[in-house]
Structure 1
Amino acid sequence: MDRIMQASASPVLMNIMKKTVRRYQRYGAKRAIKILGVPCDAVSVFIRFLYSFSLTEDELEKYGIHLLALSHVYMVANLKQRCSRGVVDGLTAENVVDVLQLARLCDAPDVCLKSMRLIQSQFKTVEQTEGWKFLQEHDPVLELDILQFIDDSESRKKRRRRHKKEQNLYMQLSEAMECIEHICTQGCTLVGPTNIVDVNKSTTVPFGGKSKPCKAVSTCYGLQLSIRHFAVCKKRSNENGCLRCKRMLQLLRLHSSICDQPESCRVPLCRQFKKRVEHDKRMGEDTKWKLLVRRVVSAKAMSSLCQSSKKNKCDGEAE
């Protein structure tokens, strides 16, 4: 009965027992299964687990690596899962190389991944350990895999940082487009139309009495100064003209590429840039500029969606 209970938890053990029965049944000899390569206490814990499926935290901490090897060899899946979690919890810079080597042999991908990440995060410490020095001498393939993993991880980090930086730039440009429309349509503190039509009252009010507070004060203020400079700068038409004016022209061109109401738009040069765009389409569009416009439009849509979500959330909390 004991033999059946043990074997039922391990297909490998069941197969071994069947073979030993056939081998020794004709002689009536005593049957024994030798489990080698691990401490005797670890074997005792393993056998007890096959009976009761019980394993204490102390036993897991002390024999986790040995039990992981036994659970893999004898195909005890539930023990292997518990040992994998326990071994991961006990990872240190000192033992991580040894654990990684064992995890690869035991087909434990979770342990391998966690070990790789720990090596990556503490590589300067790990490469000083005896385990790493042994690895360099005896397993150059694994060493190369680790270095490749670290290099790939660093490349992904750089790509994420670059993507985040680009997204921030597109969001800033989107905010600048909103500010330009706000300045030229509603008017703001320094520049804007000479008068503003109050839609609610159907009256014209003097410039300076803006209907809504500015949402992006710093961006709006910087654009106001640039617009004022652009209006009076004498170098803007020169071939090697004013750099500040060139940037302002690029922003106005970007607005024109996004604007869907050029006939009624009050932003300077909007219609002129629209006509130039039509000419450029016939001559062949600038692919990079087209991509920039598409991404700024996408950032603007995302910004509007976030603002709507925040507004709906605030309205729901108020109710």
Structure 2
Amino acid sequence: MKARYWSLAIILILVNYLIFATLFDRLVSSDFGPQRATRTPAPTFTPAPAQAPAIIIPTPTPTPLIPTPTATRVLDPNNASAAPPEPVPQDEAAAQAEIEPQLVAPGTVNIRSGPGTNYPVIGSLDANAPVKITGRNQDTSWWQIELSGSTGWVASSVVSASNAESVAAVAGPPPPAAPAAAAAQPAAAAPAPAPEKPKYQFEPTGWYDDGNAGLTRFLGDIKDINGNPVNGVFVQAKCGNFSAISFPSGPVGWGPYRDGRDWPAGFYDLTVDTKPVPCIWTLTVVDTDDRQTVKAVLSESIPVEITAEKSIVTANWRKNW
């Protein structure tokens, strides 16, 4: 079997060899075989057409124009006013307006009859409306401007001027007369000084003593500055270390029995003993809650003498505020 396989393989190899050899031979013959020479064709000559002779056309010579004289108007010097004025070109007029001294105001400002606020107002200048400057005062604090048929003045501090370097100073009108001074009025009389406020709220008025009635007693009336009775006021009587305080003035009453409830308005009554107690007593208006302790002293302490013959004292008081 092996021999048979080897025989088939050898046969196949030989067949393949013959096929590839034949193909290779043909390929070499077609690419590298001898080439045949090809003849290059010669160029063909084409004759150019004959040119026609050039024709020269003569150019006519222009005839020079003779200028026609223009008539010039001659003005009679004796009648020169009859000639109309030559119009000024618009550009020249605009240029002339640009170099004129003028001013504008940023807002409405007053126009016065002269260079000063003491002159009357004669009109007003609208905002951003240029006007021609015709003069100034000596220190250039006011400009004179051109109005319709007249002139006026505006303060330089409220306007903006241009091309005004060469504006000449001019004299303004005389200032208006000052108004007559009002007649001097007599000085008003100085108000009377307010009375000095008293040192104490209460002060004594109308004191006197009375004969012995077997008592040591102090009594009186308490009124305000208008004469009206004042209720609820306490009076202290003091002799050495001993002191006593009255019931409140008026029909106020005190304690469980409402002592003094029948008193007249503003009246007080203080009996310190049923016999005369000779002493230099002092009477003082005080403030108290219990008729024992003094909270505040409301008057000056006034001395009064009690003797065996005169032991009843009437002491009236006035409330100042």
Structure scoring higher RCO (CA < 8 A, sep ≥ 6) equals 2
- Normalising by the smaller structure, the TM-score range is under 0.3
Structure with higher helix content? 1
Q: Which structure shows the higher strand fraction?
A: 2
Normalization by structure 2: what TM-score?
0.19
How high is the TM-score relative to the length of structure 1?
Answer: 0.19
Larger Rg: 2
